[in-house]
Structures are given as structure tokens and as C-alpha cells.
Copies of this chain bind each other. A is one copy, B any other.
Amino acid sequence: MKKYAFKNDYSEGCHPNILEALIKTNLDQQNGYGYDDHSEEARELIKKKLNDQNADIYFVSGGTQANLLVISSILRPHESVISAETGHIFTNEAGAIEATGHKVHGVITDDGKLKPEHIQSFLDAHTNKPHQLKQKLVYISNSTEIGTIYQKQELKELYEFCQSNDLYLFMDGARIGQALTSEVNDLTLEDVANFTDVFYLGGTKNGALLGEAIVITNDKLKEDFGFHIKQKGAMLAKGRLLGIQFLELMKHDLYFDLAKISNVQAMKIKSAFQMKGFQFLSETFTNQIFPILSNSQIEKLSENFDFYVWKKMDEENSAIRLITSWATSDEVVEDFIKEIKAL
């Protein structure tokens, strides 16, 4: 029997409602390429939740695809994007952005979040134009790759800084559900729409089989986006597959319910570690936690559960990464907490 894995939030299939909807609609004929009724309905629903009837919404398959589509559609050849060094586009997408011709500048941060002062000092060091590139876009993730989230005031300030400096702000929302349902979050989806130029709602890591919903709110970035989707091989003939999923996820806010479950399960585990006095690599309130354990404790926990050893702290201790998902059951969490208590 396989060990239960806390390795990532895309280990299971999808929420059952999605499978039901696929069955129910299966033999209906629909237009291809995102012009189906389901995609149309899902777009309307999302626009309503954003409170922005003018937003342009496109469904694509995954996060790297969404990132490269958005970034390459915005930038002219001599323009570049700024990211935290922990940002997914900086080292974890096999050069996807550079493959479209653009440099990703990496900025070192404490907590995976970009702040105006990071950008300002970067801009100050890159004034020798045209020998140095023109920075045009700021890329952030929420929640970040290390589980932290942006507060409303932080996002607002960053957005205003970008506006004052002729920069666009793009939020990678592969785990935006987890961010917006975190117990310490004060952002709404409408805030995100207001304080970014473009962002996406991740489905893959929150109950869909696949799919991210790209939301473009800045009019300047809307023109001809469909061509880019086709050109980069991201346009599904059966776009219905994406539309049906986002329709199910958005209906009755299932999307946020699922994200919340993943957060709650992680927080229960975090709490168990805290009660035993463990330290953490970073303080997180979403579905990723990074407790620091001794080698023997890691070995012990590995007997019945699977997870990544994330960072070696010293010869005796390492941080591990535990990720929960919408499908992580109470039972599994309880079993795991028992083992934590026994450490």
C-alpha cells in the first residue's frame, strides 16, 4: 500500500462535481476553442465575482503556460520582468520566459514577497539605457512559492508604486484560493482585480483536473490576447473542458471552500508541530508548512507518510515541506498528528 503523500496539492484528480458535470454535458455538441456555452457562463460568473464586467477572461491549462502567455503578450522585445528569486518563473519553469525572449530579473527577498523598495533599488541600479533593459512588468505570486501571502495594504502600495513607475503588475494566482481564504488574509477577489493589471485564478492546485483562469483588467493589455493563446499551443480544441470546470468551481464558491479546506488541514498540522515546540522555516498561513525536524524525526515520520525534505539546516536538522489539498481528509490529518505527537 502506498504511503499517504503531503508532497503537493495536485496528487489527486478533481472535485466530484466536476466529474458529474463532465458526464452530464458529455455528448452535447459545443463550439471549440473556448467559444462553448460553459466557458461563456464561467466567464460571466467570474466577472460578477470580480465586480468587473469589462475584464477579459481566458482559460488555459497550467501555471507555466499562463505565466509565459501573459508575460510574452505584454512585453516588447527590449522589456523585462522583475520577480523574487523564489518566484516560480525565476528558476522553476525551465526558462519558459526567456524562451519567449525576455529576461527575468531576480530580486532577493526575505519572505518571497516583493515590496516597492525592492523594485526601487533595482531600478536605481539599471539606469544605463539602452545598454540595460527596460523593466516593464512586476511578477508576484499569492500565495508565494514559500506559502506567504500579501496583505491588502502591501498589494495596494506595490500596485501604486508600479503605476508611478510605468510598470505593470501581474499576480500568479496558482494558489490564489489558498491566499484569499487564509486566516490572516484581508484581500478580496475584487481587491486583487483592482490592484493588479492581470492575474489568474489557479484551478490545477485547487480541485480542477487542469486549468487556470487568466483575468485581464487593464484595457491596454487586452488587445489580441487570443492570438497568443493559439500561437503558444495553449488553445484547447475542447475548451469546454476548462469552462465546465471553472463553472463548477465558481458556482456556490466551491473554489474558496476547497482552498479553505486545504488551509485548515495544514493549520491543524502546523498547530501540532507548534505544540511540540518545533520551529518553522517560514511563517505560513496557507496550505504549505515548513517545520524543522531532526534527521531521526524525519526518518520516523517517513515511515508512513511521504513528503519533501526541503532545506538542510545543519548536519542534524532539516526543514520539510508539507502540502495539503482540498482532498486531504480529516482522518489522514488525525493519523499524521498522532505521529507528530509521538515524535
A157 within 8 A of B: no
* Complex Cα spacing A322 to B192, Å: 46
A235 within 8 A of B: yes
- Copies of the chain in the assembly: 4
Of A62-70, A255-263, A267-275, the one touching chain B: A62-70
Q: For chain A, what secondary structure do more than half of its interface residues adopt (helix, strand, loop), or is it mixed?
A: loop
A165 within 8 A of B: no
* Complex Cα spacing A128 to B32, Å: 14
Which of chain B's residues have a CB closer than 8 A to the CB of A13?
22, 25-28, 238, 240-241
A142 to chain B, nearest CB (A): 18
Question: Chain B residue with minimal CB distance to A26?
Answer: B13
Q: Could you give, for residues 1-41 of chain A, a 1 whenever the CB lies within 8 Å of some chain B CB and a 0 otherwise?
A: 01011001011111010010011011111111000000000
Q: Could you give, for residues 59-79 of chain A, a 1 whenever the CB lies within 8 Å of some chain B CB and a 0 otherwise?
A: 001111111110011001110
Question: Chain B residue with minimal CB distance to A6?
Answer: B29
Of A225-233, A287-295, A296-304, the one touching chain B: A225-233
Are B327's CB and A96's CB within 8 A? Answer: no
A179 to chain B, nearest CB (A): 18
Please report which residues of chain A, range 72-98, place their CB below 8 angstroms from some CB of chain B when the two chains form the complex: 72-73, 76-78, 80, 91-96, 98
Given A10-B32, A29-B2, A102 contacting B96 (CB threshold 8 A): no
* Complex Cα spacing A101 to B63, Å: 20
Question: Chain B residue with minimal CB distance to A31?
Answer: B11
Q: Could you give, for residues 124-165 of chain A, a 1 whenever the CB lies within 8 Å of some chain B CB and a 0 otherwise?
A: 001011111110000000000000000000000000000000
Indicate the member of A12, A98, A228, A241 with the most B CB atoms within 10 Å: A98
Interface footprint category on A = 35 or more
Are B130's CB and A229's CB within 8 A? Answer: yes
Of A43-51, A203-211, A278-286, the one touching chain B: A203-211
Residues of chain A whose beta carbon lies under 8 Å from any beta carbon of chain B: 2, 4-5, 8, 10-14, 16, 19, 22-23, 25-32, 61-69, 72-73, 76-78, 80, 91-96, 98-104, 106, 126, 128-134, 204-205, 209-210, 224, 226-238, 240-241, 327
Q: A77-B227, A100-B101, A204-B238 are in contact. List 8 more A-B contacts (CB 8 A).
A: A19-B22, A73-B76, A92-B128, A93-B230, A96-B233, A130-B230, A204-B236, A233-B233
